[in-house]
Every structure is written in C-alpha cells, then in structure tokens.
Amino acid sequence: MEFDELSRKVIGCAIEVHRQLGPGLLESTYRQCLARELSHAAIPFQMEVPLPVRYKEVLLDVTKLQNGIKRFVL
C-alpha cells in the first residue's frame, strides 16, 4: 500500500471515530476506538510501543508511542 493511500485510510478511520463519538471524551477512549477501526480496515499497527528517551547520556524508558502504523506514527 502506498503512503498516500495508507494516509487516506488512517485519516478516514480517525474521522469515523470522531463522527461516531464526537468531542469531549478521554484520549484513551478514542485510542481504543481507533484501534478497532484500524483493525477493521486491515491496517497493521501497534499500540503503546516503548519509546526510549536519551537524557544526558542515560537511556530512559519513560514514555510510550501511543499508536504506530507501519511507516508513520499517529
């Protein structure tokens, strides 16, 4: 799948989630619904991918990438 096509599908999934839920909910709610939409659209993704941070020569495991999709990040 080309980058532009993948981008359109991911954005379409996000729009569908927002259309169904509207504004004002917790981020975790949108994240779970987006995961469901991405799965339904057969778009490979990972949730809560560890994202190490280097601070003053020390590698810290302090954050996670919320959703990662193939070649780009949400």
DSSP string, the chain: --HHHHHHHHHHHHHHHHHHH-SSS-HHHHHHHHHHHHHHTT--EEEEEEEEEEETTEEEEEEEEEEEETTEE-
pLDDT at 72: 54
pLDDT of residue 12: 97
- Whole-model pTM: value is 0.73
Q: Which residues of the chain have pLDDT under 50?
A: 73-74
